[in-house]
Amino acid sequence: MTDTTFRGWPPEALRWFDELAANNNRDWFVEHRSTYDDSVRGPMEALLGELADEFGEGIVARPNRDVRFSKDKSPYKLRIYARIPRASGGVYYVDLRSEGLFVGGGVYMADRAELERLRTAIADDRTGAELVAIVARLRSAGVDLMEDRALKTAPRGYPVDHPRIDLLRLPSLAAGRLHPPRKWLGTRAAKDRVVDGWRAVTPLIDWISANA
């Protein structure tokens, strides 16, 4: 029987990503596929299996990039990531890359209809205040909102002096933390980082589920 116990990611997992960055082609990937399966994807699947009872069933992304509309035609992603979607909105997210382990959750780049519902809830004094309190708790725990691609001005229909304008400008409502690689990454302690991170973002995901 295959051992499905999560034991962390071995050092060769991060080396694999570094080498992939220098050799991002199908021949190299096929030649080193066993390392990907055993040291990169295998631990991710074992981790998700152990966390399924608390957080739900996870989905590991394929290693292939969608290059149809990209100038960069490199065929493979330089990270492995998994998502656990909530039926009512929001996802738990984890990825491993050469820079370390990223743990977070929420909604990334919401579609137009969902974004408008979220903005309506942010603008509302009651639900908006709830979100402000959640964000404050996240930041005090070292978990930051993802602010990339934020609008430079107010979205249409909202005043620039709205008390929650910083939140209204965001195209995503997601938060996370990147943990630089240390010895713990190769042990079961890596699971603790994921559990702590997902529990921290659960109030944000609950808020999204209630308002999206």
DSSP 29-62: HHHTHHHIIIIIIHHHHHHHHHHHHHH---EEPP
79 - beta bridge partners? 97
3-state secondary structure of 175: strand
- Does residue 4 belong to any structural domain of this protein? no
Which pLDDT belongs to residue 3? 67
Q: What is the pLDDT of residue 19?
A: 97
Cβ count within 10 A of residue 11: 12
The CATH number of whichever domain residue 111 belongs to comes to 3.30.930
| Predicted local confidence at residue 102, as pLDDT | 98
The reply to whether 197 falls in a domain is yes
What DSSP element (H or E) covers 106? strand 100-107
In the sheet with 144-145, reading across from the earlier edge strand, the strands are: 59-60, 79-85, 91-97, 100-107, 173-179, 144-145
35-78 pLDDT tens trace: 999 999 999 999 999 999 999 999 999 999 998 888 899 999 99
Q: Do 20 and 39 form a contact (C-beta atoms < 8 A)?
A: no
Rounded to whole angstroms, how far apart are CA atoms 94 and 117? 26
Task: Specify if 3 maps to a domain.
Answer: no
Residue 93 lies inside a defined structural domain of this protein: yes
Q: Structural domain of residue 53, as residue ranges?
A: 11-211
For residue 75, the Cα-to-chain-centroid distance in whole angstroms is 21
8-29 average pLDDT score? 97
Q: Is the pLDDT of residue 140 over 80?
A: yes
DSSP assignment of 79-105, as one string?
EEEEEEE-TTS-EEEEEEETTEEEEEE
Using pLDDT thresholds of 50, 70 and 90, give the confidence band for residue 208. very high
Domain count, the chain: 1
B/e letters for 86-101, b = 16+ CB within 10 Å, e = fewer, are beebbbbbbbbbbebb
pLDDT for 2 equals 55
Is residue 194, in this structure, part of any structural domain at all?
yes
Q: Is residue 148 part of a domain?
A: yes
At 18 the pLDDT is 97
Question: pLDDT for 66-117, tens place per residue?
Answer: 988 888 999 999 999 999 999 889 999 999 999 999 999 999 999 999 999 9
Segment 10-14 mean pLDDT:
96
Region 147-164 average pLDDT: 95
Tell which residue, 3, 15, 197, has the closest CA to residue 92: 197
Q: What is the residue type of 187?
A: T
The dihedral through the CA atoms of 3, 9, 15, 16 has a sign that is: positive
Which SS3 state, helix, strand or coil, does residue 114 take? Answer: helix
Contact between 179 and 90 (Cβ < 8 Å): no
DSSP 134: H
Residue 5 resides in a domain: no
Q: Is the pLDDT confidence value at 177 over 90?
A: yes
Q: Is the pLDDT of residue 24 over 80?
A: yes
Flag whether 111 is in a domain.
yes
